[in-house]
Structure 1
Amino acid sequence: MTEPDLGDVAATLRVSLGLLRRSLRAATTDGALPLPELTALVRIDRLGAMTSADLARIEQISPQSMGATVRALQDRGFLARTADPADGRRVVLSLTDAGRTAVEAERAVRNRHLTRAVEAALSPAEIATLAAAVPLLQRIAEEL
């Protein structure tokens, strides 16, 4: 058996993961958050409390755009603002209970969407192969 061409494998993986990502983004809850708002909540959930400027830098958008996103999330009651204990002039953003619930609801919808697709498309043996491949995909992601 010949070795697969690594470039072909990488290209096919990139296209497949892009399609998967777009499909999962399309799966939303009934009270769906706009993508910039959801992304901001997920970042704060994963990375912890941070300033709006930090969040803008991580998301690679302007502070003004992030300001609009943060205001919308505050209006929904998803973000709390507190003074930075290290520098009282700065404001730190953190998730409220409602914000955490919103993130968890969006994740649950996407997990169910992906679970249904895996069950519909793959045999039990293929699901076992996919389960064995997940740690490999995680290692690749960590290398990027």
Structure 2
Amino acid sequence: MSDDPHPDTVASALLAGISVLVRRVRQVPVEGGLTMPERTALSHLARSGATTSSALAREAQITAQAMGATLGALRDRGLVERRPDPNDGRRALLTVTEAGHQALKNKRNARAELIARALTGGTFSPTELEQLAAAAPLLERLAQNI
């Protein structure tokens, strides 16, 4: 009989721990911050490059109307630009502006600072910090395999 943890046990423990971490980190307020729908739309747009509102809505799995309202708020704040599609004049392509990229970076930095503060609060030993550092690429690889 092996002492190796069963994949189901590991999966349940990871899901529970990561779910709490993600919920807590998402609550980090950032001055002039983005709402969750705005951050999601902006992140999708930053990853996909120039695209249409309907394509973003499909990718985010929300209605075109909801995406339109979110993108309108992002445009009003200068975080997203709308330009005519050079291949189809009837469509508009959306892109993230420099201010939009900065807003995403600010949110990521605030989250990283929150986690760094928690890690340096004295509740983690040097060995535990090494274990967390070693787990980070494994978690990323796990996410890519889902």
The alignment's TM-score, normalised by the length of structure 1, stands at 0.94
**Shift of the alpha carbon at 1:86?**
2.1
What are the within-5 Å matches in structure 2 for residues 15-94 of structure 1? Answer: 15-94=16-95
What is residue 114 of structure 2 aligned with on the other side? 113
**Identity rate, percent:** 43
Unaligned runs of 5+ in 1: none
What is residue 123 of structure 1 aligned with on the other side? 125
Contact 1:28/1:110 (CA < 8 Å) preserved in 2? no
Instruction: Choose between structure 1 and 2: higher helix proportion.
Output: 1
| Deviates further, 114-123 or 16-25 | 114-123
Contact 1:56/1:63 (CA < 8 Å) preserved in 2? yes
Deviations 1:60-86 (A, max 9, x none): 000001010011111111110011122
Deviations 1:103-139 (A, max 9, x none): 1111110110111122223212211111111111111
Unaligned runs of 5+ in 2: none
Deviations 1:18-70 (A, max 9, x none): 11110110012121211101111111122212110111001100000101001
Question: Does residue 103 in structure 1 map to residue 104 in structure 2?
Answer: yes
1:110, 1:49 → 2: CA distance?
26
1:43, 1:111 → 2: CA distance?
20
Secondary structure of the structure 2 residue equivalent to 1:71? helix
The alignment's TM-score, normalised by the length of structure 2, stands at 0.92
